[in-house]
Amino acid sequence: MRVLLTGAAGFIGARVHRELADAGHEVVAVDMMLPAAHGVGARAPEHVRVLDVRDPDALDSVLRGVDVVCHQAAVVGAGVSAQDAPAYASHNDLGTAVLLAAMDRAGCRRLVLASSMVVYGEGRYRGVRPGAVEVGVRRRGDLEKGMYEHRDPDSDAVLSWAAVPENAPLRPRSLYAAAKVAQEHYAAAWAAVTDSGVTALRYHNVYGPDMPRDTPYSGVAAIFRSALESGKPPQVFEDGRQARDFVHVSDIAAANLAAVEYPHTGFLPLNIASGRPITIGAVATTLAAARGGPEPEITGRYRPGDVRHIVASPEQAQRILGFTAQVDPLDGLAEFAFAPLRAVAGAGAPLM
């Protein structure tokens, strides 16, 4: 198939590119080489055309004969301040809207969208009684006292996490999450009005070789990895028992290939996770042990916007796409301890 791949020079996009090409697909690779992601003055790899997805004319010129669009281009990170809001809205949401309109002009009816588990906000919780318990934002006073877990509003008992299914409510908690929800909604509406198919892959915490070095917009794996490299202990927030699912970039690429090769109509959101949740403390310990120290520090500090646990159910992706992650996070993170990281020289906040 002929596949338009956006964000093709990025950490995830470059891996998806290889996966699609190795499977025999013809890839039209584009990337706008955003300084926040690639560093200031970075040049596009030879096989990648510089293109901004918000440019309708440029899109018209590359969409001819394209069967599927695999849309990875996005401003990432949770957002550092409210000043980042226009960049998320512009690149992620306007960009997706312009792309969807161009796909309609080109008669392209299939989209694979890079989404994120951040669309759920907090994960799913259960108490002693059957059924999920709704939780709100944790109170600052509780966090100050070291009470990190959500509690049952009736009994005050500590709640435990449960795997989040795709039909869970979407409750974005960051600017990035809000932008991802909007992308999904635009794509779902486009699928309905044009009788097209969208598969939204809700990535969990992605890591792997060529991940950008730590910036205020990086995920925790890159931050811990960069600290260890400069001989500093990873700083673990809260008590380190918060759970996440770390999925290797090679598995993300495999999930994208499966989604590109799965035709359907309508809107299909799928969690893409390893299925083997791990605590943040264990991530730090695994990375530190592989590098021979220094030992992580459990700081008790917290970020007010952070969710406590977010762990997905990977069952739908297995049932529908036949996708199962291959890399066990404990093995993948140990290997990641020495993997090369991408330099992002001079990368600042994302600009519109």
User: With binding defined as CB under 6 A, does residue 220 bind ligand UD1?
Assistant: yes
Least distance between ligand UD1 and beta carbon 156 (Å)? 23
Q: By C-beta, is 54 or 309 nearer to ligand UD1?
A: 309
Q: By C-beta, is 223 or 330 nearer to ligand UD1?
A: 223
User: With binding defined as CB under 6 A, does residue 303 bind ligand UD1?
Assistant: yes
User: With binding defined as CB under 6 A, does residue 54 bind ligand UD1?
Assistant: no
Which DSSP state fits 41?
T
User: With binding defined as CB under 6 A, does residue 184 bind ligand UD1?
Assistant: no
Beta-strand runs (E) in 117-240: 124-126, 160-162, 197-203, 205-207, 235-236
User: With binding defined as CB under 6 A, does residue 309 bind ligand UD1?
Assistant: no
Q: Is the N-terminal amide bond of 294 cis, ω within 30° of 0?
A: yes
Stretch that binds ligand UD1, among 115-123, 129-137, 319-327, 342-350 (CB under 6 A): 115-123
User: With binding defined as CB under 6 A, does residue 203 bind ligand UD1?
Assistant: yes
Stretch that binds ligand UD1, among 55-63, 127-135, 138-146, 237-245 (CB under 6 A): 237-245
Which DSSP state fits 210?
T
User: With binding defined as CB under 6 A, does residue 244 bind ligand UD1?
Assistant: yes
CB 266 within 8 A of CB 308: no
- CA-angle at 336, arms to 305 and 254, nearest 5°: 85
3-class SS of residue 293: coil
3-class SS of residue 336: helix
User: With binding defined as CB under 6 A, does residue 304 bind ligand UD1?
Assistant: no
Q: By C-beta, is 108 or 143 nearer to ligand UD1?
A: 143
Least distance between ligand UD1 and beta carbon 196 (Å)? 25
User: With binding defined as CB under 6 A, does residue 223 bind ligand UD1?
Assistant: yes
Site string for ligand UD1, 66-105 (x = CB under 6 A): ----------xxx---------------------------
Give the pair of three-digit tokens for residue 139.
């109170």
CB 281 within 8 A of CB 240: yes
CA atoms within 13 A on the CB side of 222: 23
Closest listed residue to residue 278, CA positions, set 161, 142, 189, 185: 161
Q: What is the rounded distance in angstroms from the CA atom of residue 256 to the CA atom of residue 6?
A: 13
User: With binding defined as CB under 6 A, does residue 287 bind ligand UD1?
Assistant: no
Q: What is the rounded distance in angstroms from the CA atom of residue 124 to the CA atom of residue 199?
A: 23
Q: By C-beta, is 99 or 119 nearer to ligand UD1?
A: 119
Task: Rule CB under 6 A: choose which of 205, 256, 285, 316 binds ligand UD1.
Answer: 205
Task: Rule CB under 6 A: choose which of 12, 200, 306, 329 binds ligand UD1.
Answer: 306
Least distance between ligand UD1 and beta carbon 245 (Å)? 9
Task: Rule CB under 6 A: choose which of 92, 96, 116, 286 binds ligand UD1.
Answer: 116
The 3 state secondary structure assigned to 108-152 is CCEEEEEEEHHHHCCCEEECCCCCECCCCCCCHHHHHCCCCCCEC
User: With binding defined as CB under 6 A, does residue 280 bind ligand UD1?
Assistant: yes
Amino acid of residue 49: R
Q: By C-beta, is 8 or 310 nearer to ligand UD1?
A: 310
Least distance between ligand UD1 and beta carbon 272 (Å)? 10
Burial 155-165, CB ≥16 within 10 A → b, else e: eeeebebebbe
The site for ligand UD1, by CB under 6 A, has a size of 24
3-class SS of residue 297: strand
Q: What is the rounded distance in angstroms from the CA atom of residue 63 to the CA atom of residue 57?
A: 10
Q: Name the site residues for ligand UD1 (rule: CB under 6 A).
A: 76-78, 116-118, 176, 203-206, 218-220, 223, 235-237, 242, 244, 280, 303, 306-307
